[in-house]
Chains A and B, each alone.
Chain A
Amino acid sequence: MIGSEHYQIASTLSKADLRWMYSLPWYISSKELDALFVHAGFVSGIRLGKQNPRLMMNMRSILPDGTVTSKFFNNWPWARLWDGPQTVLFGHDADRGLQQYEHAIGLDTGCVYGGRLTACILPEKRLVSVNAKREYFQYRRKHFD
């Protein structure tokens, strides 16, 4: 279902919009802000240039044995392993909602699932959020431990 939605979007978006999306990088880094912006996350211990884009877009957990997975393992968020130095701002993980670690802030608060839409204003790291009007998409929770 989602797959076909992607197709629909791809075929209905205007060219400029598509181009805009196409221009989006895997991640953004800011030296001055000491921040990284990425969708899913980073694997700690690997330098940024070597991070795998697929993981950057899909990862959610890093298991104790070092396995990086896109599944939600409650006790093993990747962000807990991330030790900086930069602060990572990421989304993707609506399961855990707002995550705040020392060097990582997870901003996906599941707006489309009826949660909140959250923004982080950067130099001061201030969080702003609004409630979703309603639940737009049924959320199926798949939990692992």
Chain B
Amino acid sequence: MAEGSPDENQDRKKKGLEKDISKYLKHDKDAKDTKQNSDRNPSKKGNPSILPPPSRKISSRFPSQKRGNKAKMRKATPEPRGEGENYKSILPPPPTTDNEQFPDRRKERKYESGGRGGRRKPSRPSGRGNFVAAHSGDRKFIPKREKTFRASPESKEQEKEGDKESLLPPKEDAAGLTSWDDFFSTNLQSISGNSNTKFNKENKEDTGKGGLSTNQDYFEKSLDQQVEKINGLPSTSYLFGNNRNITSASKTSKEARKSEIKGGVSASSLDGVLPVSELFYRSTQSMSAEGDGGNDSNDESGRISRNQQDDYTIGEEETDDEELPFSAEQSNRILSKNNKIMMRRNKATRPSGDGPIKDEAQYKTDIAKFRSAALSPPPRTNNQNAGKKNRRKRGATNQGRSQQRGDGQGRGRKMVRRGMEMLVGGEPINADPPLRLVELNYCLRTPDSLTDGLLLLKDDDADDDTLDLVNDSPVDWASVVTTNSRDFGPLLHQSSVEKVSDTSRQLYCEHFVNSSIKWKVCPKDLKDIVKEFEIEKASSKSPQTYADLIEKVSSVKFDDPQSIEMRFEERPTDVQAETKGFGKESRKGRRRSSGSVDFNAQRSASDSDNMNRAARRSNSKLESFTLGGELKFSLGVTRAELESGHDGGSHGHILRRVLGKGIANAIKAESLGFQVVIAKMLLSEVDGGSTEFHVEFNMIPEDDMKFGEVEWAAKLINSALAQAMDDGDMALAMGAAAKTETAWPAKVRNRVVEEFLFDAEGADDDPLSDDDDEEDSSDEEAIDDEDDFEALREDEDLPLSNSQKQQNEEEFEDEDLPKKQQNEEEFDGPFGMPGDTLYAKDDIYLGGGNGGVFPDYSENSKWMAPFSGELGPLLLDAVTQRAMEKQPRVIAIGDVHGCIDELQALLRRCDYRPGDLIVFLGDLVSKGPDSLAVVQMARELGAMGVRGNHDFEVIRWHQAIKSGMKYKGSFSHTFHSGRRLMNFISFSTKQVPILL
């Protein structure tokens, strides 16, 4: 019921608003003129009876709102008659065509004035009267106007209702309605949601001023009821939040209010009171006025629609502004000249998913979907790739720009920039940081700090005063510099530092050393430790610690123990990771499972880890290696069928061939110079006629490759494999391979193909139910294929040092992690949105938190650390020792602007080391040679910083990009979607004429 009407209303409003805004901007002069005009007009008509006496009183309450009304009045005046008629038309259900403008104006006026008139709108009789009253109120300030007001055509109805109580529900009131509720119950049905929200502002304002609050009861009650009646409208509580209290208070004062009304509040008493809303709206107006010329039409409409269409929007904005560090209000007060531009918090950011917000989100979704469907945007990857290219050669910015434009189009949301503000699809982008201020605690080496008990000073060398304490507690270099922010890791979070165990600190040191070596800023002593370690590792001949691992490797893997493999495994972990006894990498394997077909592929880091070490240990003899992978899936075909062909004597050769081909195609192994060979294949029948596959395959380089190359290839293969499993390419490739397999009988072939493809399409949510059975199934049959297995002999020794290997390995893992591990958690929208979880459960002070900003220091993830925790103790000792000699410091660094070389040089000169905190003074990016590296380095070193204007810009772009396209939801009609869709359609036609 309500849906239809609001839409129409909004449409009207929009139109009206557009016109009105232009008026808005006109000077007061005009307004005065209009006043005069208006005065004349009413007098001409000469309806003395029309005069609405109550209007005066109302006006007196809201003195501040004059201005807005003035401008509008002007237009209204020429057609006084029409306006009155329009009022009737205002009622939600029947939208009038031409008259719409007027209602819009009114609404706007109300909006500006605080929207009191707006509420009344919904109810016909009362609405008119009220509206008029509001009108008059504005004018009332100027004594002359009162007359004019009375003369206005609208007043006719008011007459009926009674002069003094124009605000009150007209007839009923006279009849002696006991409560407003009664009144509302009768009248409110027709109220559109939009008008209500506008009141919030006024309410807030009013609360301060007792006299002004008279209308609140009315409004609020009406709101509640409206909300109840109208679906999809924001709940009152949502809209009003803080104001609620006020309401109740005001209710008590009903009687007083009435008396006031009757008695009439003198306008003069309220003079000089300027409601905050007045400031606020002026600022917005100025904004819209300043909008870019080029985009005017769209901008304006967008803005307007925002203001007027969504009641809740308005209310929200207000509340948000109050919370915001720099609300428009604030800026206006502080620096009216410079701060015409206001930033608002992104509405969608609001944590509570109340009705209206959902609508908004859905709307976004809808739009995005709609447009994407209509425009078929270019795949995003292209853009990104292009972006990378562009970055490489900085000259190509033009290309970048055009691309960006195209991008925006593809997403179907228009990006508009207005000074500081960026709007996407009419929504302001919120790029505010999670913390406005970060407090930096620095533990000075003074007795005071000790007695404070905040942080124990632990880094004294020879300080007599604190000697005792130092003796008591171990030196804690990490807690010298801390912050109140958890975003930068446990060691920078004041209340977490103490909880960080030694092991974690060791790991931190490893990470630090690793990345600082990578960025060439490692302090020399630490570097030396690493060197020693590497040398020792490389030359160590008795790696007892690895004995068991090696055993495992050889036992599990290969039939030919002589050949030594370096294996990078594609191994299905999922539930079965236990085979390696590394339960901790609980990444979920990607699942391609549809009924009968399951694909599982997961690289098991632990495994490759083991392998690596094994290889490392036996470096001297190690001359050959292959890359191995594993694949597990099930197919709804019986084993007998699969092994058929060649009169049943194939023993799986055919199948093996098919699988090999499929895998090779899926990961494009040939282009990488590898040959895929199925080394081992386990088939186990599962009840229901399907078969579990456990395939191990080897990738054999076609040419000799150096170790480094192979490692590099392994990375590629891994990602390709993951990708293939993800996209279903694997299944498709398998299907294709099976299709071309001539040795199979047609029937079987088709069946197999069907199964494969079925998997690709229907891959859905079915969890792997069979996994557990797999291990137990007794009728496994191993088919070993020795013929195909060849180990590659390689001539050269492996020159890589251990650390390098480990490093590589780590990177290698890193590549995969985001794809596999973060599947569940990954939130790809703009930051600060619901769903954007900052911390996983136990990330609070350890590990992998804040979207990867800092690495995982927890003991469990030791294996992921650069040196697997082996080097940690040494490093930690060195760090601690050093901290005792020299107190950790804070290093503030000026604008870097992507100058990575200079930054590294500077850090070396500063003798940067763990425990020191780098604080960047903003502007890390842009202009310079390598912005990305700077940011990455800063993050990996655990630096902090403040935001510069360029950083802010980048963040905002990110938010804009993200909020532009990725919204997951379903298309549905919300009460305003109709209008907006129309907007977008026209918009799209404009920009992409080809479509039409």
Q: Which residues of A contact B (CB under 8 A)?
A: 1-33, 35, 37-40, 43, 46, 48-55, 57-58, 66-69, 89-92, 94, 106-112, 117-124, 128-133, 136-137
B497 at the interface (CB under 8 A from A): no
B558 at the interface (CB under 8 A from A): no
What's the Cα separation between A1 and B396 when bound, in Å? 10
Question: Do A4 and B831 have beta carbons less than 8 Å apart?
Answer: no
Nearest Cβ on chain A to B485's Cβ, whole angstroms: 7
Interface size on B, residues (CB 8 A): 101
B928 at the interface (CB under 8 A from A): yes
Q: Which residue of A lies closest to B953 (CB)?
A: A6
Q: Give the interface centre of A22, A40, A130, A131 by most chain B CB atoms within 10 Å.
A: A22
Nearest Cβ on chain A to B811's Cβ, whole angstroms: 13
Nearest Cβ on chain A to B837's Cβ, whole angstroms: 11
CB-CB under 8 A for A37 and B441, given A6-B950, A22-B434, A107-B893: no
B938 at the interface (CB under 8 A from A): yes
Question: Do B404 and A7 have beta carbons less than 8 Å apart?
Answer: yes
Chain B residues with Cβ under 8 A from A25's Cβ?
433, 435-438, 485, 946-947
Question: Do B902 and A133 have beta carbons less than 8 Å apart?
Answer: yes
Question: Do A26 and B338 have beta carbons less than 8 Å apart?
Answer: no
Interface-located stretch among B612-620, B624-632, B712-720, B916-924: B916-924
**In the A-B complex, the 5 residue pairs with the closest CB atoms:** A39-B922, A16-B852, A107-B894, A10-B957, A112-B897
1/0 contact string of B373-402 vs chain A (CB within 8 Å): 000000000011001101100100110110
Q: Is the interface of B mostly helix, strand, loop or mixed?
A: mixed
What's the Cα separation between A39 and B921 when bound, in Å? 5
Chain A residues with Cβ under 8 A from B893's Cβ?
107, 117-120
Question: Do A14 and B936 have beta carbons less than 8 Å apart?
Answer: yes
Nearest Cβ on chain B to A24's Cβ, whole angstroms: 5
CB-CB under 8 A for A24 and B945, given A16-B851, A55-B338: yes
Give the tally of cross-chain contacts (CB within 8 A): 330
Question: Do A121 and B889 have beta carbons less than 8 Å apart?
Answer: yes
Question: Do A38 and B338 have beta carbons less than 8 Å apart?
Answer: no
What's the Cα separation between A49 and B906 when bound, in Å? 33
Chain B residues with Cβ under 8 A from A13's Cβ?
932, 935, 954, 958
Question: Do B892 and A120 have beta carbons less than 8 Å apart?
Answer: yes
Can you report 6 residue pairs joining A to B where beta carbons are below 8 Å apart? A3-B401, A12-B391, A16-B853, A25-B436, A51-B325, A120-B891
Q: Which residue of A lies closest to B408 (CB)?
A: A7
CB-CB under 8 A for A10 and B955, given A120-B892, A128-B910: yes
Chain B residues with Cβ under 8 A from A55's Cβ?
335, 338-339
Chain B residues with Cβ under 8 A from A4's Cβ?
397-398, 400-401, 404
Question: Do A133 and B901 have beta carbons less than 8 Å apart?
Answer: yes
What's the Cα separation between A130 and B400 when bound, in Å? 32
Q: Which residues of B contact A (CB under 8 A)?
A: 325-326, 330-331, 334-335, 337-339, 341, 343, 383-384, 387-388, 390-391, 394, 397-398, 400-401, 404, 420, 431-444, 449, 483, 485, 487-488, 818, 831-832, 850-853, 887, 889-899, 901-903, 905-906, 909-910, 919-929, 931-932, 935-936, 938-939, 944-955, 957-958, 961
CB-CB under 8 A for A9 and B894, given A18-B955, A20-B939: no
Question: Do A17 and B949 have beta carbons less than 8 Å apart?
Answer: no
Question: Do B440 and A28 have beta carbons less than 8 Å apart?
Answer: yes
CB-CB under 8 A for A69 and B895, given A20-B935, A121-B910: no
Chain B residues with Cβ under 8 A from A108's Cβ?
894-895, 921, 923
CB-CB under 8 A for A112 and B899, given A22-B433, A39-B922, A122-B892: yes
Question: Do A53 and B325 have beta carbons less than 8 Å apart?
Answer: yes
Q: Give the interface centre of A12, A24, A31, A133 by most chain B CB atoms within 10 Å.
A: A24
Q: Is the interface of A mostly helix, strand, loop or mixed?
A: mixed
Question: Do A15 and B901 have beta carbons less than 8 Å apart?
Answer: no
Q: Which residue of B lies closest to A14 (CB)?
A: B936
Chain B residues with Cβ under 8 A from A24's Cβ?
433, 920, 922, 944-947, 951
Chain B residues with Cβ under 8 A from A46's Cβ?
334
Question: Do A123 and B946 have beta carbons less than 8 Å apart?
Answer: no
Nearest Cβ on chain B to A140's Cβ, whole angstroms: 12
What's the Cα separation between A117 and B948 when bound, in Å? 16
Q: Which residue of B lies closest to A5 (CB)?
A: B926
Nearest Cβ on chain B to A32's Cβ, whole angstroms: 4
From the candidates B906, B932, B939, B949, name the one contacting A39 in the complex (CB within 8 A).
B949
Q: Which residue of A lies closest to B402 (CB)?
A: A4
Chain B residues with Cβ under 8 A from A106's Cβ?
894
Nearest Cβ on chain B to A128's Cβ, whole angstroms: 5
Question: Do A2 and B391 have beta carbons less than 8 Å apart?
Answer: no
From the candidates A18, A19, A53, A123, name the one contacting B889 in the complex (CB within 8 A).
A123
Question: Do A37 and B946 have beta carbons less than 8 Å apart?
Answer: yes
Question: Do B925 and A67 have beta carbons less than 8 Å apart?
Answer: no
Nearest Cβ on chain B to A92's Cβ, whole angstroms: 6
What's the Cα separation between A99 and B896 when bound, in Å? 17
Question: Do B338 and A67 have beta carbons less than 8 Å apart?
Answer: yes
Nearest Cβ on chain B to A72's Cβ, whole angstroms: 14
CB-CB under 8 A for A117 and B902, given A107-B893, A136-B927: yes
Chain A residues with Cβ under 8 A from B343's Cβ?
53-54
Chain B residues with Cβ under 8 A from A91's Cβ?
894-895, 921-923, 948
Question: Do A89 and B892 have beta carbons less than 8 Å apart?
Answer: yes
Nearest Cβ on chain A to B934's Cβ, whole angstroms: 10
Nearest Cβ on chain A to B817's Cβ, whole angstroms: 11
Chain A residues with Cβ under 8 A from B341's Cβ?
54
Q: Give the interface centre of A54, A123, A131 by most chain B CB atoms within 10 Å.
A: A54
Chain B residues with Cβ under 8 A from A67's Cβ?
335, 337-338
From the candidates A9, A16, A32, name the one contacting B925 in the complex (CB within 8 A).
A9
Chain A residues with Cβ under 8 A from B901's Cβ?
133
Chain A residues with Cβ under 8 A from B434's Cβ?
22-23
Chain A residues with Cβ under 8 A from B400's Cβ?
4-5, 7-8
Question: Do A33 and B932 have beta carbons less than 8 Å apart?
Answer: no
Question: Do A23 and B935 have beta carbons less than 8 Å apart?
Answer: no
Chain B residues with Cβ under 8 A from A39's Cβ?
921-923, 946-949
Q: Give the interface centre of B388, B818, B831 by most chain A CB atoms within 10 Å.
A: B831
What's the Cα separation between A29 and B935 when bound, in Å? 22
Question: Do A15 and B818 have beta carbons less than 8 Å apart?
Answer: yes
From the candidates A18, A54, A137, name the one contacting B897 in the complex (CB within 8 A).
A137
Question: Do B897 and A136 have beta carbons less than 8 Å apart?
Answer: yes
Given A9-B926, A117-B893, 7 extra CB contacts under 8 A: A11-B957, A13-B932, A25-B437, A29-B440, A39-B922, A53-B343, A122-B890
CB-CB under 8 A for A68 and B435, given A13-B932, A130-B902: no
Question: Do B951 and A11 have beta carbons less than 8 Å apart?
Answer: no
Nearest Cβ on chain A to B338's Cβ, whole angstroms: 5
Nearest Cβ on chain A to B123's Cβ, whole angstroms: 42
Question: Do A119 and B910 have beta carbons less than 8 Å apart?
Answer: yes
Question: Do B931 and A37 have beta carbons less than 8 Å apart?
Answer: no
From the candidates A19, A26, A37, A57, name the one contacting B851 in the complex (CB within 8 A).
A19
Nearest Cβ on chain A to B833's Cβ, whole angstroms: 12
From the candidates B325, B910, B938, B950, name the one contacting A20 in the complex (CB within 8 A).
B938
What's the Cα separation between A35 and B440 when bound, in Å? 9
Nearest Cβ on chain A to B439's Cβ, whole angstroms: 6
Q: Give the interface centre of A3, A7, A25, A50 by most chain B CB atoms within 10 Å.
A: A7
Question: Do B935 and A21 have beta carbons less than 8 Å apart?
Answer: yes
Question: Do A9 and B391 have beta carbons less than 8 Å apart?
Answer: yes
Chain B residues with Cβ under 8 A from A23's Cβ?
433-435, 485, 487-488, 850, 853
Q: Which residue of B lies closest to A110 (CB)?
A: B895
From the candidates B438, B488, B909, B949, name the one contacting A57 in the complex (CB within 8 A).
B949
Chain B residues with Cβ under 8 A from A10's Cβ?
954-955, 957-958, 961
Chain A residues with Cβ under 8 A from B438's Cβ?
25, 27-29
Chain B residues with Cβ under 8 A from A48's Cβ?
437
What's the Cα separation between A122 and B438 when bound, in Å? 17
What's the Cα separation between A38 and B398 when bound, in Å? 32
Question: Do A92 and B949 have beta carbons less than 8 Å apart?
Answer: yes
What's the Cα separation between A37 and B481 when bound, in Å? 15
Question: Do B910 and A26 have beta carbons less than 8 Å apart?
Answer: no
Q: Which residue of B lies closest to A116 (CB)?
A: B902
What's the Cα separation between A28 and B390 when bound, in Å? 34
